[in-house]
Every structure is written in C-alpha cells, then in structure tokens.
Structure 1
C-alpha cells in the first residue's frame, strides 16, 4: 500500500492539474477565434498545453496534428501521476494503453471501412506509438480485413476481431466490432481494479459502472431512434454492467416502442440529479451526468486513485470540447450552431 504522505501528495498533484484546466475566459477566447492557427497560438501562450506546443509553428499546424498533441499532453500528465503512485500507477497505465489501442484500432477500421486505410498514416498519433507494442505504421499498410486479423496475431485483439471477417468489398459490422472491443476494455479494467487491492476500489467500480451504463443508454436510445434495432441486437452490443438502472427498468428500456420512453425511464433512475434531459442530444445528456458526477468526486474524494480516474475523463472531455471548437473554426461554423455540442456550455 502507498504511504499516507505519498497518497496525499498524488491527490494534491492531481487536483493541482485539474485546477490548471481551461476556465470560462479561455473558452470565451477560443470560440471567438476564426482559425486553427489562432486557437493553437492561444493554447500555446495561455494554457496548460504550453509545454506540449512550445516547439509548434502555430501558423502551419494541421487540425489533426493539433488534436494529437493535445492528447499527448493527457498521456504525459497521466504517465507522470502513474509514475508517482507506483502501487496503482502500473495498473492504470496498462488500462490507458489498452484504451489507446482500442481507439486506434477503431480509427483505423473506420478509415479501412471507408476504403481509405492509407489516411490513417497521415493522422497517426506518433506520441502513442512508443507506448504500445502494436506497430501502428505497419497496421496502416494493411489492405484487407484478413491481413488486419493476421497483423493482430500476437495481441488479444485478434480473437475479438476475427469473427467479423467479411469478403473483400463488403462493409464491416462497425457497431458490433466496437462493442466487442469495449467489452474487452471494461473486462480488463475491472480485472485490474480487483487485482490492485487499493483503497477507493468501491468508488472506482462505481465510476466505471456508471460510465458503462451511460454508454448502454446511448446504445439503446440510438438503436431505437436511428436504426430500428431489435431488443436482441441491442443487448448483444451492450456492456454487461449496471449502476443506477435496475434489471426491471433495463428490460422496460429494451422493450420500449419509442426512444422517448427510454429517456423517461432514465430520468426516473437518475432522478434528474445531474441532467434534466431537456436536450434531444442523448450523447450530451449522458456526458453532462458523468461530467458533474466525476467533477464532484475529484473535489471530495480522499483516494488518489479515484482522483486520477476522474482527472483522466475530465481531461478527455476538455480535449473533445477543444476539438469541436477547432472544427467550428476550420469550417467557419457560427458558434451558436455548435454551442450545444460543447460540454462546458451545457
């Protein structure tokens, strides 16, 4: 177990990093900018991203490269915290590595499914390449799905992806591929939590079960509203975890004829504590619930491991917000038209 002094130091360090995240004035400045280079210059000069952007020529930076650099700051911050708290750091970083691998696999598969696998190489995150045994450059050269499965021969992902092999030219079952990868990720996560035997385990389990449940809510709602999926198909794509929603409520959600019925059940389960679901954007509703929950957890927890987990998600949300602002500037979209997509303003 970590000493009380070391644990308190990590807790203080994590909250200090949280305190350096973007504030209201930063967001006001960013949404007022009309170019990616202006946004990069502001982040470089005025925010906690200054170190990762210090060698960047902001007038020439590409949107994708800027996002990858911001994500490298997240990885760097988390590596620092994990290194400081060895007792749980190795477990956390194993999960972060797997999280990165799953997201990179999904990014490549989406390019591949669109018939543009070569584009992955142009947008490959160099900062992550050194943290994973997967050869991302070699993966970008894959031309068929069977080659991708063979490429993953010495990883846990081959077994997960091989059942989805299709004939050349046929579209991939992206939804079920994504579901299988995330099931693996959560299974690994809970295994790591169970084996680490550290204080705060119950809080960590609740955080991740809540996140998994919110992911299931999105899948159920989208499956009914946009794809007309059957109950059986939706169940096959869900993560096997529950937090606030009972088995009875879950069955009602899965059997509902209309997506609005799903939302009514969610409102009952969460009692509108963090979100009133007034927005029709199911993703944003779920983000708001989780964001408010983990923000409060980070402020009041006495466990460094819980603070680290909350910080990771909060940082990830911040990068998603910045990415949305960058996209708005790149395509000259008025702020009012994408404001509802920014978690900070929701």
Structure 2
C-alpha cells in the first residue's frame, strides 16, 4: 500500500479512537460525583471504558494501569497499517514504555524492594520489545539488572553509573534513559517522508523545549544542581531553544530564566504557582496538539496526537479518582485540560 493509502487507513482508525475520548461534559459530570465507585460506574456505563470495566473496583492505581493497558493494546493496532521506516518510528514510540518500566525496576532495586510489587504496573508490548522481562524479574540488585539488559540499547548508557551511591545512581540512570529515548526517537523521525519528518520534528521540538524548561527549573529551584550538570542532561532537538540558549539558561539567575521563558511561546508555564508547573507544561502541549490536527493533508500526525491525548485523558481520570478518594477541593484546577477554556 502506498503512503497516502496507508495514512488514510491509519488516520481513519485514529480519528475513530479520538472520537471516543471523553468530552468536557463528561469531566463536568465526573467532578459532581462523590465516590470512586460512582466515577467507575460512570466510566463503565457512559464511556468507551465500558469495554474493560465489567465490575467496580475502588483501587485507583489498579484502575489506572488497566486503562493504560487497554489503550496500549488498542494503539498497537495502528502499527499494522505501516511498513519499513514507519514501523521503526512506532517501535521507537513503544520504547518509551520500556524506559518507564526500567525506571520502575531501578527504583525498586535501589530501595531493596522485591520486584513482585512492580510487575502489575508494567506496560509491555505484544509486538516489539527489547527486554526479557522473565530475566529482569529475577534481578536482586542493580548489577544483576544491568546484566539482564546487556544486549539491549539501554545498557551502555547505564553502565557508567553502576558504582554511584543509590540515590545518585537512580537519578543519573533515569536521566540518561530519557536522553537515550529521545535520541532514538529523533533518529527514527529523520527517516520518515519529508512532510511527516517536518511535522514530527516540530512536535518533538516543542515537547523537548517544555521538558528542558522543567528540568532546568527543578534542578535549580529544588535540587541545587550545578549549572554544568544541568546543561549536560538537557535534551537536544528543541524547536525554540537550541544549544546556545540552553547553555545560557543553565548559567543565568533563576528569576531571569523564568522571565525569558515567560516572554516567549511558553509563557503560560510559569503563570501559576511553582507546584502547578508540571500541570501547566502538560496543558501547553495538550493544546498545541490541537494545532497539529489542523495541518492540511494526510500524515502521521493523527496517530501521534492520539497517543498523547489518550495518555492525558488517563492522567486526568486518575487525578479525579485520587482527588475524590482523598477529598481534594480543587480537582478541576489540577486537570491537564482547562474546563474553563472555550472550544
């Protein structure tokens, strides 16, 4: 099948899945509810989650994992519409879930926890994986963990930190895992057709800009990380902030950094209190995605937008479930979507 036909079929499938996502009216209804079971009942009776929730469950973390796995299985079906470099691109997207799984292993092992506790939280692919989870699950320490991933793309970047003290080791390993993932994703994008490459590099660049702003702010504000180390762990490939800009950010005063960011495309990131910054960043990207769906012509955009939008939906639902469980008063303010925003 030619690329136009491939995109047409994949876009039709992605459009159908996007159409099933919850609308603002669903969130308004959910926020009126008072118990976790009432929320789950609404999802079971009135939304696409009826496919997976046959009975009520008040375990919010288990519900979140169930929703993620449901989406992942549905999203994997898009892989079959593509061949060659486009399948490589989807494989690169799937690797992010492997990276998050590896982080769970690292954190558990650094705390001397048994790995049984994390296995129910893993999101794994039936189509493609670099990891042998049966071997990983037998690890009792980080040395055995590294041995279990020796023949994977992740090993070489992690081995350098194995002798660090546990807290520092996990921190550095998580940072290089993220950096490695974005490098692999970038390499897969540059092999796409011209239009898809342009669109995906733009979207990736916005995502990287936002992550770099978050990293620099948190490193300076909360962890007193040196400017040199901050710069060493920034991500390449941003849309607005290149190598020189990032280096300046890492060495300038924190207030000056916030002023520069607030005067540009990402001005909303620092509009709220510092503790709301992560929500503000996710909201920025959430609405940037809407602009990409308006791009003319057939492309890979819709399947990628679907990936982000579905994940954000699950995050918002988990926020609602947790907020109701712990009787939070400002749940709507914590959501990624802005329910006050006019469509």
TM-score tier after normalising by the smaller chain length? 0.7 to 0.9
Matched residues, number:
337
Deviations 1:287-333 (A, max 9, x none): 12211111221233423312211221111111111122222233x23
Q: CA deviation at 1:129?
A: 6.6
Q: 2:187 aligns with which of 171, 177, 191?
A: 191
Q: Structure 2: state its 5+ residue gaps.
A: none
Q: Structure 1: state its 5+ residue gaps.
A: none
Q: 2:115 aligns with which of 94, 115, 118?
A: 118
Q: How does 1:1-346 map to 2 (within 5 A)?
A: 2-53=2-53, 56-59=54-57, 62-86=59-83, 89-125=86-122, 128=125, 131-166=128-163, 170-197=166-193, 199-258=195-254, 260-270=255-265, 272=267, 275=268, 277-280=270-273, 281-330=276-325, 332-336=326-330, 338-345=331-338
Alpha-carbon separation, structure 1, partners of 2:282 and 2:251: 24
Alpha-carbon separation, structure 1, partners of 2:109 and 2:333: 31
Deviates more, 1:26-35 or 1:230-239: 26-35
CA pair 131-271 structure 1, distance change in 2 beyond 3 A: closer
Contact persistence 1:67–1:319 (CA under 8 A): yes
Contact persistence 1:203–1:306 (CA under 8 A): yes
Please, what TM-score do these two structures have when normalized by structure 2? Answer: 0.88
Alpha-carbon separation, structure 2, partners of 1:24 and 1:313: 17
Please, what TM-score do these two structures have when normalized by structure 1? Answer: 0.87
Alpha-carbon separation, structure 1, partners of 2:281 and 2:49: 27
CA pair 161-223 structure 1, distance change in 2 beyond 3 A: same
Alpha-carbon separation, structure 1, partners of 2:226 and 2:118: 37
Q: CA deviation at 1:49?
A: 2.2
Q: CA deviation at 1:30?
A: 2.4
